[in-house]
Structure 1
Amino acid sequence: MKTNSKIHFAHANGFPAGSYRVLLDSLSSQHQVIAIDKLAHNPNFPVDFGWQNQVAELVEFLHEKQAEPCYLVGHSFGAVVSFLTACQHPKLVKGLVLLDPPLITGLTSLLFKSVRRLGLADRLSPAKQAMNRCTTWSKDTDVESYFKGKALFKDMHPECIADYVSSAVKETPDAFKLDFDHRIEANIFRTIPLNMGRYKLPENLPAMIITGEKTKVCKERLIAPFIKKNKLEHLVVKEGGHMFPLEQPNLVAELINQKIAQWESMKEVV
């Protein structure tokens, strides 16, 4: 049964919102779901250090699409942007679900700051890979098979790979081409926020974090202080890697739907 609750979903870097069709369809069975298809590709909001322009981009989108506060759900890059938005614009947010956010905190942030000052940021991030990625394929290429052979995609749900190709690759008369700017993708990696310690969620905002059991991005020992500071409920997806929302989309949607239903029922009691 569909509720009156609205969810904004923010995608991971390099994965347009359409890549998450299976997950979003499952969420849409109970909620109204909206999403920016390619976050950070609006020329009015160029990528900046700390992703504050992406916060502004999301805030503008929320003002345009809904009059009441909504739930923010985000994966990876989208999770961090959602968190920053919730911290800085809490009146727009009913609740927050973070899916494996890349958090640079503590001593690690000091290391990244030093590396960034030396102009070596690409060595500690996937930015170099993004800049060097293939962006054009010949017309005889099986593009789905191409991506299935990539390590990042190896555990993904087959439908999610197909949806990624549909949303991230366009067919031209002469070739298949990447349908988003890989240079922006690289800049997002280069400009990851290094000041996360400055932010804290409002006390009364319900929030949770879901991480993958096998993630290499969101290690529990590194995020424990962040979880404690922001009073986050923490769930772990068994066998999930960093890309678990595209590996186990129906399970993730079920977890999110259950949590939002719980939050909504708590508000009714109050």
Structure 2
Amino acid sequence: MSPFSAPKIQMPFHGQPNAYFEDSLNFLHWDAPKGAPVMHWAHANGFSGGTYAPLLSRLNGLAHIYAWDARGHGATKLTANPKELTSWSPYKDDMIRFIEKLADRHEQKIHLTGHSLGATTSILAAAERPDLVAGLVLVDPVIIPYHLGWLSAVLHRLKLPHPVGHLIRRSRRRRRVFKSRLEIAESYYGRGAFAIDDEGFLNAYLDTAIEPKEGGVGLCCQPEWESQNYIAQRHNSARALKMLDCPVTLVRAAINSTVYSSKPFMKTRQPVTFKTIADTTHFLPFEKPGEIASIITDVIMDQKSQ
């Protein structure tokens, strides 16, 4: 089946986001009435904010929705040197600068939401700047023991077995140039994150995560940068978790979740609400976007009513 002949579900929403480029950072914005809540969505490693448009568009009208392209991804042009990346702290610093602007622009705290790397980055940012954050909805964040994070680079440097060595190797082997968008689509359709794609996530990815290359088109996120994100684990998410003092909802995959332990969440200053969505993998935003959107809606509406 062609990547573009898969059945599409008629979405219960209207409106398209506007794209903006400020201070070398690219982001999408779904507008909402003045005074509406403000939400930022942070994507996973190797993707783009626009990849999640079929999910985020379901929330149109609920809030001012922002979705950035993180450093090294999408159309964002911030410096991304893999040799300099030892932790996810650069993402955290970028996010703090971005949500500072959003909080100033809208004169309110920001709801941080995100998937995988984006969810973990949201934790790090919220811990450092709780004055900017209204709450968190974390979709399968990467939570690993702190000592394993530090050990990650050592194992890789010594060429010893690495817990996510298969992901590092797969990222580095990614093809750099394709003849056309259609060729990328045919290569990616029905596999990995796009194994289930009834709602157009692959098209959204191709709209926002590829760019012209010599000889054709290729991925915005370079293979070396994507793979380095798996190695660069010297941030301390466990310590950040203990510092959270805003409402937190964690949505976990039922199969092979990257939340390796729930224990750090038990020590946060506010209780954490855990939800597991049945029959999902780490790519649950693409597999069950309606359920993710419903959870985010409930969280934001509940906090708005308080």
2:303 aligned counterpart, secondary structure: helix
The number of residue pairs the alignment matches comes to 263
Which residue of structure 1 aligns with residue 43 of structure 2?
11
**In the alignment, is residue 133 of structure 1 matched against residue 174 of structure 2?**
yes
Which residue of structure 2 aligns with residue 25 of structure 1?
57
Comparing 243-252 with 9-18, greater Cα deviation is found at 243-252
Per the alignment, do residues 173 and 108 of structure 1 end up closer, same or farther by CA in structure 2, a change over 3 Å counting?
closer
Query: Could you tell me how far 1:136 is from its partner in structure 2?
Result: 1.3
User: CA contact under 8 A between 1:45 and 1:56: conserved in structure 2?
Assistant: no
Which residue of structure 2 aligns with residue 51 of structure 1?
88
- Of 266, 273, 288, the residue aligned with 1:248 is 288
User: CA contact under 8 A between 2:146 and 2:237: conserved in structure 1?
Assistant: no
Which residue of structure 1 aligns with residue 300 of structure 2?
260
Query: Could you tell me how far 1:191 is from its partner in structure 2?
Result: 0.4
**In the alignment, is residue 160 of structure 1 matched against residue 201 of structure 2?**
yes
User: CA contact under 8 A between 1:212 and 1:236: conserved in structure 2?
Assistant: yes
Query: Could you tell me how far 1:217 is from its partner in structure 2?
Result: 2.4
Which residue of structure 1 aligns with residue 7 of structure 2?
none
Which residue of structure 1 aligns with residue 101 of structure 2?
64
Comparing 40-49 with 153-162, greater Cα deviation is found at 40-49
- Output the CA distance in 2 between the equivalents of 1:35 and 1:139: 26
1:138 aligned counterpart, secondary structure: coil
Which residue of structure 2 aligns with residue 229 of structure 1?
267
Which residue of structure 1 aligns with residue 25 of structure 2?
none
- Of 61, 80, 86, the residue aligned with 2:126 is 86
Q: CA RMSD in A?
A: 2.7
One-letter identity of the residue aligned with 2:97 = E
- What stretches of structure 1 of length at least 5 have no aligned partner? none
- Output the CA distance in 2 between the equivalents of 1:107 and 1:202: 19
- Output the CA distance in 2 between the equivalents of 1:99 and 1:140: 29
Query: Could you tell me how far 1:35 is from its partner in structure 2?
Result: 2.0
- Output the CA distance in 1 between the equivalents of 2:243 and 2:283: 28
Comparing 166-175 with 65-74, greater Cα deviation is found at 166-175
- What stretches of structure 2 of length at least 5 have no aligned partner? 1-31
One-letter identity of the residue aligned with 2:86 = F
Summarize deviations over 1:18-65 as a string: whole Å, max 9, x none: 100011111233110112123345435756322111111111112233
- Output the CA distance in 2 between the equivalents of 1:200 and 1:174: 45
2:113 aligned counterpart, secondary structure: strand
